[in-house]
Structure 1
Amino acid sequence: MAHRSTAQRRAFRLPALPTTTIGSFPQPEEIWRARADAPEDQRRLLDEVTRICRVLLET
């Protein structure tokens, strides 16, 4: 076990407490409206998610 965890730390260079962003993206009212108004309107939803991701990457 110790050998494997040492090898993994070297290979992956993970932080001491790795985190994930799955489920933690903001979901503003525009996204909820897009889902409710027209589930097939994926373009508007994708544009808003892209905008939010850009904001998060800039900070």
Structure 2
Amino acid sequence: MAKHMAKDLRLAVEAAAETHAPSPMLAVLEPLYRKLAEAGLGEADFTAVVKALGCASP
């Protein structure tokens, strides 16, 4: 579920910042999942990411 991924990614961002670990993928993924959760798609699975990125098949 997107809301759980958003939470986990937020925690990973915090941990990376505390340890000064480079985390380029977190910088991309955390805002994406946060926006999905804020948009009411917190219960959606990974297909919400595909749709949000416009990668879904017609």
Q: Please classify the TM superposition score into its range, dividing by the shorter chain length.
A: 0.3 to 0.5
Q: Which of structures 1 and 2 has the larger relative contact order (alpha carbons within 8 angstroms, sep 6+)?
A: 2
After TM superposition, the score normalised by the length of structure 2 is 0.37
Q: Which protein has the larger Cα radius of gyration, Structure 1 or Structure 2?
A: 1
Higher helix share: 2
After TM superposition, the score normalised by the length of structure 1 is 0.37
